[in-house]
Structure 1
Amino acid sequence: MAHGFKRTRKGIVGRFEAPEVRLLQKLFSDVGETLAPEPREEQDPLEALVGWDEDVPEPTDPALRRMLPPASSDPEQAAEFRRLTDRSLRERKIAALRASSLALESEPVVLTTEQAQDFARSLNDVRLVLASRLRIDSPEDAERVAELTDFGKAESVEQYMGVVYNFVSWLQETLMNALLKTLPAR
């Protein structure tokens, strides 16, 4: 069973069982695939080289909309910001997910502060996707999901996703607590 993350002299350390490692790696991979941009039939070579696209529509997938929300309530400003930043934001998120997955290859997992920040971002993206799929939009929805998982054994896809959501939430909380201990004392 996972022991969560703790700050030590070696860095931020977490211990996981093999099934937990496989689960997290699968979640990181799935979210990375969700973030991968849709292939375009024709792309301007200069756009590909520079890293922005002329027309980047807002994502239709609710999970992607949570991970890549509009930067402004003004539709024109939001579209311009998305055009300039969408690709690089996706690439940074995918890179963090891959790095987090690779970090799970060692036992125990030992992270530097920077690696822990990437790991926390990756866990947050996983939580955003799971929350979207579980339709968690309010504290009441979160309570509904928590009640789903109180039965001990997951008997439906929704209950299983709820258990995974709660595990990832707990893991992120332990990681954030460990990261807080790296801040200088006031």
Structure 2
Amino acid sequence: MAKEFRSGRKGITGGLEGPERELLIKLFQDVITTLEPDTPEDEDPLASLVGISEDSSVPEDPALARLLPQASDDDEEAAEFRRLTERSVREAKIGHLRMAAMDCESPKLLLDHEHSMAFASALNDVRLVLATRLGIESEEDAQRVASYTDWSQAQDVESYMSLVYQFVSWLQDSLVEAMLSDLD
């Protein structure tokens, strides 16, 4: 069973059992796959190098659109901002997810400041994807997801994803609490 994160002299520590680590690694990898951009063969290498994308359209996948939201209500401004920043935002998120996945390979998590920030970011991105897939848009939706409490009774995709969402939320809350106590 997962142990909540604690702040200590050596950093922030937490504990995950094998199946929990495997689950998180799989979730991190799934979000990485969602974030990896389609790279056209005729893409300008200089634009690619500096992080500029030719495509400024809003992602069709609702989960990806939630990870990479519109920066402005003005469609023209939002498209230009997306064109100039989306690639670097994707790469930063992917970097955090990869770092968190590597941290999960150890039975005991020991996170310094950089790794705890990356782990919190990765958990947040997983939560955003799960929330989108579960259709959490209102308080009623959140209560529906929270009504699933027993892993042994997970009979369908929604009940299983709801329990995973709750686990990831608890883990993120525990990590943020440890990070905040580290500030004192």
User: TM over 0.5, yes or no?
Assistant: yes
State the TM-score, normalizing by the size of structure 2: 0.96
Counterpart-to-counterpart distance in 1, 2:16 and 2:149? 21
Q: State the AA in 1 paired with 2:114.
A: E
Task: Report what 1:139 is aligned to.
Answer: 139
Q: CA offset at residue 55 of structure 1?
A: 2.8
> Within 5 A, what are the aligned runs for 1:77-88?
77-88=77-88
Task: Report what 1:3 is aligned to.
Answer: 3
Which piece of structure 1 moves more, 32-41 or 13-22? Answer: 32-41
Post-superposition Cα deviations, 1:143-182, rounded to whole Å, max 9, x if no partner, equal: 0111134575200011000000000000000000000012
Task: Report what 2:53 is aligned to.
Answer: 53
Matched, 1:94 2:94: yes
Cα pair 1:97 1:119 within 8 Å, conserved? yes
Counterpart-to-counterpart distance in 2, 1:106 and 1:61? 32
Which piece of structure 1 moves more, 85-94 or 31-40? Answer: 31-40
Task: Report what 2:178 is aligned to.
Answer: 178
Query: Cα RMSD (Å) of the superposition?
Result: 1.3
Q: State the AA in 2 paired with 1:29.
A: Q
Counterpart-to-counterpart distance in 1, 2:113 and 2:50? 30
Aligned residue for 1:13, secondary structure, equals strand
Instruction: Give the unaligned 5+ runs of structure 1.
Output: none
Q: State the AA in 1 paired with 2:55.
A: D
Counterpart-to-counterpart distance in 2, 1:98 and 1:36? 12
Aligned residues: 184
Aligned residue for 2:110, secondary structure, equals strand
Cα pair 2:56 2:79 within 8 Å, conserved? yes
State the TM-score, normalizing by the size of structure 1: 0.95
